[in-house]
Amino acid sequence: MKVFRLWHFWILFIMAVSLMTNPVNAGSSDWDADQIDQFIQTQMRAARIPGLALVITQNGEIVYLKAFGSDGRGAYLTTQTPMLLGSLSKSFTALAVMQLVEAGKVDLDAPISDYIPGFSNADPQQSAQITVRHLLNQTTGMNDLGYPASLTNFPTLAERVNSLKTAVPNAEAGVIFQYFNPNYSVLGFLIEQVSGQPYGNYMQEYVFSPLGMQQASAYPTQVQNLAQGHTLFLGAPRNIEQEMPLSEVSAGFIVASAEDMGAYLLAQAGRMETIISTESLSAMHTPPKGIDSPYAMGWFVESHKGVDVISHTGDLQSFHAYAALLPAQDIQFAYLINQNGLLPSLITFPPLRNGLLDILTGVQPGRSVSANLINIILVVVIFYSLIRDMKRYLNIPVWAKNVKEHPKKQIIINIALEFIIPIALFVFIPILMQFISGRKYSWNLLYQFAPDITLWLFVGIAISLSRGFRKTLIYLRIKQEVE
């Protein structure tokens, strides 16, 4: 019970402190590089971010391009250091699909099975209605919870697409928005089928090279000098090796540098019509009509304090990225970070991106919660709870001396709880995460995003089970002696 109470306390604490920000005041529409520098450096110190690269474009030009911190491999991070983009990759895939539409090779409203013969999910009738547009808009009717292989990696895009035959849809195509990474794996395979080229080759020839994106690649395992990714462990950055499955490359594993992203943002702003037309960009930046959805084609369309923002985040176990387009201001920006994790995603990244949006739209950013303070509190909570758990384990001999004085029913309940609570935590925490996010979670995935919290829970579960087994043996021995 105590493990649950501490976990519950910690979640509530994070939610509470995340709301503790100063009010913001409206300002001018101007911004300056010094303010950006100071803001980024403050955020990095407060959150112990190893490395961050930022690019800002405005009125058709790159006006800010700078890197801070380390690449995690013993060198300074530079604006040319390649990093994984996570789900920012989706807008690249959408752009490539729209190029094929412009070339007359793909019809947005044609069934995907026209281009991928044999394509199907677990409901052939439903999947026959899925169009290219539905895939781009994430309205295929499929989601993680109905897809048994959602946490399985495959060697190729083709194998990922074939595995969707086990995906059970929960809605008709075009009815609701459900974020589902394999939708963009299907689009990556569509590009291969229509172009006759591997996805990575197409992207290099028709997107990266024309834009001058020299460090960009859709072959992440072949990239030289890729920044080292990190997670947090007890508040300190910790190196972890990032999985890079090619079956997900078109959904989340394109590599690029901040310098590359500058060229890409200009293309998204309509400054590179030789790559993509403004008509196609407008379609990419517009959510589908007739349903309640913020998702366009590889971009979310939302607002920030009354300002229209077209944006997307990119999150992997050890990398985080964010890109935003501000059409009214003709400002675009993107940052790449070689760190991720549960606490950064909750308390570091939201104020970072919101603060940059504030500065670039003439608003004074609010003060964010100190990540260092929260990490210190987390360490104290973890060690305090583990010491209490061990103390209870070591006090079992005292419990044994008094066990005869308590009713049999009370003893059985006491022992049973030592098993029920940890088993319930083990079973229901991934389910709870799925319920909150709508995405599948495993303990392995939770460990990659929050190794300290996961280990804390596992040690607490192990100690509780050990107490249960030890108390059981003691109770059986005493019972036998009495009989």
**Residue 44: per-residue pLDDT:** 93
Element (H, E) at 282: helix 278-284
**Residue 351: per-residue pLDDT:** 93
**Residue 482: per-residue pLDDT:** 67
**Residue 4: per-residue pLDDT:** 38
Whether 245 shows a pLDDT value over 70: the answer reads yes
Exposed/middle/buried for residue 34 (C-beta within 10 Å: 0-12, 13-18, 19+): exposed
Element (H, E) at 127: helix 124-127
Pick from 50-64, 96-110, 280-294, 360-374: least confident: 360-374
Q: What is the mean predicted confidence (pLDDT) over 280-303?
A: 97
Angle between helical axes of 451-482 and 2-17 (0-180°, round to 10): 160
Question: What does the alpha-carbon distance between residue 460 and residue 426 come to, in Å, rounded to a whole number?
Answer: 11
Residue spans of alpha helices (H) in 291-407 = 342-343, 349-360, 371-394, 396-402
3-state helix, strand, coil in the chain (%, to 5): 50, 15, 35
Element (H, E) at 68: strand 61-69
Pick from 122-131, 187-196, 398-407: least confident: 398-407
Pick from 20-34, 204-218, 288-302: least confident: 20-34
Angle between helical axes of 89-102 and 182-195 (0-180°, round to 10): 40
Element (H, E) at 331: strand 331-337
- One-letter amino acid of 42: T
Whether 436 shows a pLDDT value over 80: the answer reads no
Average pLDDT, the chain: 90
Q: What is the dihedral of CA 423, 425, 427, 433, to 10 degrees?
A: 180
**Residue 378: per-residue pLDDT:** 86
**Residue 483: per-residue pLDDT:** 61
Q: How many Cβ atoms from other residues are within 10 Å of residue 140's Cβ?
A: 31
Residue 126: HSE in the Cβ half-sphere, 13 Å Cα cutoff: 18
**Residue 286: per-residue pLDDT:** 97
Whether 188 shows a pLDDT value over 60: the answer reads yes
Q: Using an 8 Å Cβ cutoff, are 411 and 405 in contact?
A: no
**Residue 24: per-residue pLDDT:** 35
- One-letter amino acid of 310: I
**Per DSSP, what are the bridge partners of residue 323?**
312, 334
Residue 227 phi, psi (nearest 5): -60, 150
pLDDT tens digits, one per residue of 41-74: 999 998 899 999 999 999 999 999 999 999 999 9
**Residue 26: per-residue pLDDT:** 35
Q: Using an 8 Å Cβ cutoff, are 231 and 318 in contact?
A: yes
Residue in 133, 143, 108 with CA at minimum distance from that of residue 288: 133
Element (H, E) at 23: none
Whether 372 shows a pLDDT value over 60: the answer reads yes
pTM value is 0.87
Q: What is the mean predicted confidence (pLDDT) over 137-148?
A: 95
Whether 440 shows a pLDDT value over 90: the answer reads no
Q: Using an 8 Å Cβ cutoff, are 251 and 184 in contact?
A: yes
Domains of the chain: 31-360 (3.40.710.10), 371-482 (no CATH)
Residue 27 CA: distances (Å) to CA of 30, 160, 328, 363, 364: 8, 49, 17, 5, 7
Which has more confidence, 369 or 228?
228
pLDDT tens digits, one per residue of 214-228: 999 999 999 999 999
